[in-house]
Amino acid sequence: MLEQIKLILEEHIGKRNVITSAEIADILGIDEDDTHATTRDLLLKAAEKYKLPLAANNKGYYLIENETEYEEYIASLDGRIEGINRRKDIISRNFNGGNK
């Protein structure tokens, strides 16, 4: 199944050529819920196994085509990390401040 995902992704190079996890699940015959957790897990495993430059945006998944797409995707991930760390700090402060 991972090789099939690799072949699917090789047809979706560049952020202008995305494929959704729902479309991938349909091709693979996976019955998914709204989170598409199984498909997302398989995508990551395929990226790791086949060393694919996998990226995602709010429209779907694609293989990074060039340096600009790479830099944009890394910046997007860094922004998400910063947002998660900010929420974590707020919750920790609020929890610790509320339990003194």
Q: Could you tell me which CATH number the domain at 1-65 has?
A: 1.10.10
For residue range 3-13, list pLDDT tens digits in order: 999 999 999 99
Contacts of residues 41-50 at CB distance under 8 Å and 24 or more positions apart, as own/partner, are: 42/1, 42/2, 42/5, 43/5, 43/9, 45/2, 46/2, 46/3, 46/5, 46/6, 46/9, 49/2, 49/6, 50/2, 50/3, 50/6
For residue range 23-79, list pLDDT tens digits in order: 999 999 998 888 889 999 999 999 999 999 999 999 999 999 999 999 999 999 999
| Rounded mean pLDDT, 88-100 | 84
Supply the pTM of this predicted model: 0.87
Estimate to the nearest angstrom the gap between the alpha carbon of 35 and the chain centroid: 12
Domain boundaries, the chain: 1-65, 66-100
pLDDT exceeds 70 at position 98: no
The CA distance from 43 to 41, in Å, is 5
